Amino acid sequence: MNKRGELTKQILVALSMGFIITTAIILPGSAIMFKPFIKKFKTNKQNFIKSLQSMKQDRLVDFREEGNLSKITITEKGKQKLLIYELDSLEIKKPKKWDSVWRIVTFDIPEKKKAARNALRDKLKELGFCQLHKSVFVFPYPCLDEVQFIEEIFQIGSYINFIEAKTIADDDWLKSKFHLL
């Protein structure tokens, strides 16, 4: 991600966490108002303003006038972008000890949603799942929340099954792959 993209991400995350950015962007003396944000985001005034203007143009944020100030809020499109950022940084916490339960994700996603199907496969592989068949993936650690988050992002929950199983026949190779032996 380029520097401006990273700054956009940081600003969206800050807005989503309840930070309220108010500014008088047009006014020459507005640098004082930006100081806390410029310091927080480790950038300069020009980059900060350019990012905000670009975000407004892309409809990720909205500026509401309140007197001579503009209040910057995140839009629905901005919230969707945030979900993508969260998906990019998604990871599954691995407990110290395996609970001897396999988590199996199966799916049958129609051709019209091929892009979502491929993105799901790629994300499961990225998260460390082992592909048993074209549409069957296995993971040894709790991951239901993460799988449900992926379902929500790609809007494919009705095509996915999540199974927890105590045994998989001849699973020594899986245990070896996940360093569970």
DSSP string, the chain: --HHHHHHHHHHHHHHTT--EEE-TTSGGGHHHHHHHHHHTT--HHHHHHHHHHHHHTTSEEEEEETTEEEEEE-HHHHHHHHHHHHHT---PPPSS--S-EEEEEE---GGGHHHHHHHHHHHHHHT-EEEETTEEEESS--HHHHHHHHHHHT-GGGEEEEEES--TTTHHHHHHTT--
Question: pLDDT digits over 71-106, tens only?
Answer: 777 888 888 888 888 888 889 999 999 999 999 999
pLDDT of residue 70: 65
Question: pLDDT digits over 2-37, tens only?
Answer: 455 777 777 777 777 665 555 544 444 444 445 555
pLDDT of residue 27: 42
pLDDT of residue 100: 96
pTM: 0.67
